[in-house]
Amino acid sequence: MDINQLIQVIAAGALPVLFAITVHEAAHGYAARHFGDHTAAMMGRLTLNPLKHIDLFGTVLMPLLLYFATSGAFVFGYARPVPVIARNLRNPKTDMAWVALAGPASNFVMALLWAAMLLGLRAGSVMEPFLVLMAQIGMTTNVALLALNLFPLPPLDGGRVLAGTLPPQAALTLARVEPFGFFIVMGLILMDVLDWLWMRPIMGATYWLIEMLLSPFFR
């Protein structure tokens, strides 16, 4: 990819990626408030302002470094987690699972909207390359974030959802893995295990569901 193509990809992807991260984190905060914890609201995190959710290293520097180091083959990043105090929730164990699920659910909705935009452009024969690329990046980014965050290992959202469904002792055992969860996930990604065993099947199922939901409108 030459420098002009790279600039075009970054320009087209900036808005979808920022929205994917920002809405994901805000969704956790709104869900937490719904279930009784107002911590995120009091800290000003219930906002779509990306500056409130961006982590300089995790959201900007790390993805760029990985992109250039691997020629675009591997990109990984994260945002500032929205603070949630479980004991403030009305039913801490089950409510925390719903709060965690809100993030990936928001990514699914955004992927659906970007897919609708892409199909709408094609249906209207508006094949402006920049808009098409933006819609493609928006859909792919949100589907990838959904799949990654649903992986059932804390601190990812899937780990918190799993903890909310397990018996108390098993949930406590799973919680002990959290300090090492990030490194385990990174290791699985680098070994290409997570991609084949989790990301591809979940992303494939998500694309299929999006296609099924949108197909009646674009036949």
pLDDT tens string 133-185: 999 999 999 999 999 999 999 999 999 999 999 999 999 999 999 999 989 98
pLDDT at 10: 82
pLDDT at 74: 61
pLDDT band at 26 (very low <50, low <70, confident <90, very high): very high
Q: Is the pLDDT of residue 71 over 70?
A: no
Q: Backbone dihedral region of 2: left (phi > 0), alpha (psi from -120 to 50 degrees) or beta?
A: beta
| pLDDT tens digits along 89-120 | 999 999 999 999 999 999 999 999 999 999 99
Which of 145, 161, 174 lies closest to 31, judged by CA? Answer: 161
The percent helix, strand, coil of the chain (3-state, each to 5) is: 75, 0, 25
* 195 DSSP assignment: I
pLDDT at 80: 87
Task: Kindly provide the b/e burial profile for residues 137-170, where b requires at least 16 CB atoms within 10 angstroms of the residue's own CB.
Answer: bbbbbbbbbbbbbbbebbbbbbbbbbbbebeeee
Predicted TM-score of the model (pTM): 0.91
C-alpha span between 155 and 20 (Å, rounded) = 18
HSE-CB of 179 using CA atoms within 13 angstroms:
2
Every domain of the chain and the residues it spans: 3-217
| pLDDT tens digits along 193-206 | 998 999 999 999 99
∠ CA(106), CA(188), CA(211), 5° rounding? 35
